Amino acid sequence: MLKIGLQSNAPSVEVKRKFFPVPEILASVNADPELIRGYVKENIKRGLPQVQPFETQWDKVVALVLGGATLNNHLGVLSEKRKDGMPLITVNGSYKFCVDKGLNPSAMVMLDSREFNNRFVEPLSKDVKYLISSQCHPSVFDKLEGYNVWIWHCEGQDDCKEILDEQYGERYVDYFPVIGGATVSLRAVHVLRMLGFHKIEMYGFDSCIIGDHHAYKQPENDKEQIMNIIVSGKEFKCTPAHYHQAREFVQMVKGTGEHYDLAVHGDGLISHIIKNQDSLKIKEVN
């Protein structure tokens, strides 16, 4: 189930490439596949506890805080909900952003394999649960030695199956790969669902540029290609990654949406798609 305010509609979005080609983005591949295999092989030898299925907490609500620019519009609400005891789950750069704003995270989730993203786990905290993908760079796990770390694995990496089988045993019995799309935002939904969380409020899940690409500085994204996307007459500025994430979100909800209750806050591309069951297309270049 998907919610925007009081509205609850499952999106049905047709994607058209009528005007100019959109760059393809390969899911989960942001480093050489052989390097990722090596990272997985090294990281699973650390003996860390795994993210595994837990009984569903039907009435528990968690906040999943992502990095979109509209996150800045919800800091007051998040502060109040955090004070009332709502768990706050961050990803990548939203972790430090929340810490700096006095919003102490309950957990943070990482997926990216690139070494320079090891900065995302800082500042380190004994009060935070770090949920780190086995495909992350080993330096992430090095930094987190002695902290509360759980490891999880990406479904769809068939070239890593033999490595995981050898280490853990039988898939879906001894280890449980996490399904989802190419971004940490999409995988995090399924990480939380596996941990038993059914009701997830998402903040900063824009998948577009609203003033800037993130609520905080993230210079590696500053020079990305920008294109115009139209949904039901409203135009959005997106990077190719934003565009593909929006497409994967629609596909994800069609496949697994019955298993969780998402409330997407803000006025970004994702919330607009949910509210407008129309075609997602690229603006014609005159």
Band the pLDDT of 222: cuts 50, 70, 90. Answer: low
Handedness of CA 96, 44, 135, 207 (dihedral sign): negative
Q: Residue 285: pLDDT above 50?
A: no
CATH code of residue 237: 3.90.1480
pLDDT band of residue 280 (cuts 50, 70, 90) is low
Other Cβ atoms closer than 10 A to 106? 16
Domain of 13, in residue numbers: 2-282
User: In this predicted structure, what is the pLDDT of residue 20?
Assistant: 35
CB atoms within 10 A of CB 210: 18
pTM > 0.85: yes
pLDDT over 70, % of the chain: 84
Under the banding of pLDDT at 50, 70 and 90, the label for residue 4 is very low
Residues 10-21: pLDDT tens digits? 333 333 333 333
Mean pLDDT of the chain: 86
What domain count does the chain have?
1
Predicted pLDDT of residue 213: 74
